[in-house]
Structure 1
Amino acid sequence: MWRIVLAYGAGLAVIALLIEYLQYRHIIRSLPTEGYIAALAIVFVGIGLWVGMRINPSPATTPFEPNERAIASLGVTPREYAVLELLARGHSNKEIARVMEISPNTVKTHVANLYAKLGVSGRGKAVEAARALALIA
């Protein structure tokens, strides 16, 4: 971490020295102010992106595998699991019924069963509990 901070500080020091040198040579005064500001902004955006990628590297993409043991221990049926996945995507009961080609009352029954099995009382809490148990991504 300190290496990154020192590298960032050294980069800023080099840029500051370069600006002072250019100002000394009167090059900066010949540029329009907007161009100078744009060039400086581009440099700092580049430095920020570089530091951000060094601090937070992109995570390795591994396919999500649901926790089959938790699904089995909770007694979640395949239809309830499909309803849970659609709930997590933010679909309403009518949309879920349309996608799964079942009645909205059946969806309500599956949702109520999921609430009981997960021990929650709302859609958001059901999705949160399912994610905590690694049932859904």
Structure 2
Amino acid sequence: MKKTILVFSLLVLALLLLFQFSKYTLISGNLEIEYIMAIIAMAFFGIGIFINKKSQKQHVASNNEIDFQKIEELGLSKREYEVLKEVASGLSNQEIADKLFVSESTIKTHVSNLLVKLNAKRRTQAIQISKALNII
């Protein structure tokens, strides 16, 4: 967290310095406004590439393998596990029912069973627990 704050603080500082430099060059008449805008655009382009590379590295690092043994230990059936994956993708009970070709009450039963087996009170808590256990 401290590293993120430091990086954004440095970016804001660099941006302020860039604006001050552009203001100075505009007042002194050394450069035209097009050059100043090109420099600002290149700076933001570089910052965007830097942030994109950082976010891609974090995304690859968080891709853990699924612990199938833990799924068996929890006693999740194949259908309950399918419902859990769909819940984690953000679908409602009706959308899950339509996708899996079952009734909405069946999905409600599966979600209820999931909450009991994962010792969760809400769907969001069940997703958090599932991610912590590396089962989704």
TM-score w.r.t. length of structure 2: 0.68
Measured in 1, the distance between the counterparts of 2:111 and 2:91 equals 12
Shift of 1:69: 1.3
CA offset at residue 40 of structure 1?
2.1
Residue of structure 1 in register with 2:128 after alignment: 128
Give ranges in structure 2 of 5+ residues lacking alignment: 1-6
Please state which structure has a larger fraction of its residues in helix. Answer: 2
Name the structure 1 match of 2:106: 106
Instruction: Give the % identical residues.
Output: 31
After superposition, the Cα gap between the structure-2 partners of 1:64 and 1:51, relative to the gap in structure 1 and judged at 3 Å, is closer
Per the alignment, residue 58 of structure 1 pairs with: 56
Q: What does the per-residue CA deviation read over 1:72-92, in whole Å, with 9 as the maximum and x for residues that have no partner?
A: 110011000000000011111
Structure 1 unmatched ranges of 5 or more: none
Distance (Å, rounded) in 2 between the aligned partners of 1:64 and 1:130 = 12
Matches within 5 A, 1:38-117: 38-49=37-48, 51-52=50-51, 56=54, 58-59=56-57, 61=60, 65-117=65-117
> Take 2:86 and 2:119, find their aligned partners in 1: how far apart are those partners?
19
1:94-135 deviations in Å (ceiling 9; x for gaps)? 111111111111111110100001000111111111111111
CA distance in 1, matches of 2:103, 2:119: 24
2:69 alignment partner, SS class: helix
What RMSD over aligned residues (CA atoms) do the two structures have, in Å?
A: 3.2
Aligned length: 116
SS of corresponding position for 2:128: helix
SS class of match (1:58): helix
